[in-house]
Amino acid sequence: MKVLNNTQLEEWFHTQQIAGGFRVKLDQDGLGEPWQVQKNNPYPISRSDQDFHRAVAVTIESIGNQPKKKWSQFMVEMLNTRKYKDLDINGIILMARTEVDGKKYYLVQAKAEGGALNQVNSVFLTTTIQASFSNAQMNPGKIPLWNELAPDLSGENPNTKVAPSIEDPGIFYGKHNLLAMCDLSLEKADSFSIPSNYVWADREGIRQLQLSGDAAQFVGQVLGTFE
C-alpha cells in the first residue's frame, strides 16, 4: 500500500487539478424557455408518470489540460432514497481507513464536483465514496470501490460505523447523506486496485488541503463525526 507524505500529497493533488475538472455556472436564462422551466417552481420538470424533480439549468466548461469543451444541460436532482433506521437517505459519504505501524491512513480521492458552482477549479479532495444511491443503482461499476465498501443498509457491518444523516451542502437543498467510516485491515487495504485519482493519506496531509480550501466539506464532516 503506497502512502504519500504531506508534500507528495499536495503535489499529487495539484497535478489532479491541472489535469482538469469542470466549471459549472447557473444558466436558467439560457435554457429556461425551450425546456419550459418555471423559475418560481422548485419542481419544474415532470415525466409522464408525473414524478416531479427539481432541476437547474447550467453551463459547463472543461478546464485544465483536457480538451476544451463547453455545453449546456440540466442538473436534475435524484429523488430516489434508501431507508436506514427509518431515515430517508439520498446518498452515502464513506471514508475507508487503515492503520500502518500505529498511524491511521485514509483513502481519499480528487473528484470533479458537479455541484461546485462558479469555482475556479472544481476538483476537490473528498472521501473514498461520495455518491447518490440513484447513481449507484444505475451505474455501480462507475463508482470506484462501491461494491467493495458500500455498507449493507439491511444489516450491520461490524467494520463500518454509520452516523445519522446530514444535509447535503450542494446546490440541491433538502437532500440527506449517510456518513460512514469503514475500517480495513492492512491486508485488505493493500489488496485494492485503486484509480490514479485515489491515494492513501494521513490526517496531517488532509488537514493541509482543508486549510487551503481544496477539500470538500464531506471530508471534515466524516472525520469530525468519527474521530
Please write the tens of the pLDDT for every residue from 92-101: 889 999 999 9
Given 61, 76, 91, the domain boundary residue is 76
Range of the structural domain that residue 137 is part of: 3-20+80-226
Contact 14, 124 (CB under 8 A): no
Do 135 and 62 belong together in one domain? no
Cell representation of residue 18: 491541472
More confident residue, 219 or 172: 219
106: CATH? 3.90.79.40
pTM for the model: 0.74
Q: Give percent above pLDDT 70 in the chain.
A: 63
Mean pLDDT score of the chain, rounded to an integer?
75
Do 59 and 111 belong together in one domain? no
**Helix (H), strand (E), coil (C) string for 22-86:** EEEEECHHHHHHHHCCCCCCCCCEECCCCCEECEEEEEEEEECCCCCCEEEEEEECCCCCEEECC
DSSP lists the bridge partners of residue 177 as: 91, 166
Do 42 and 146 belong together in one domain? no
Please write the tens of the pLDDT for every residue from 192-213: 889 899 999 999 999 999 998 8
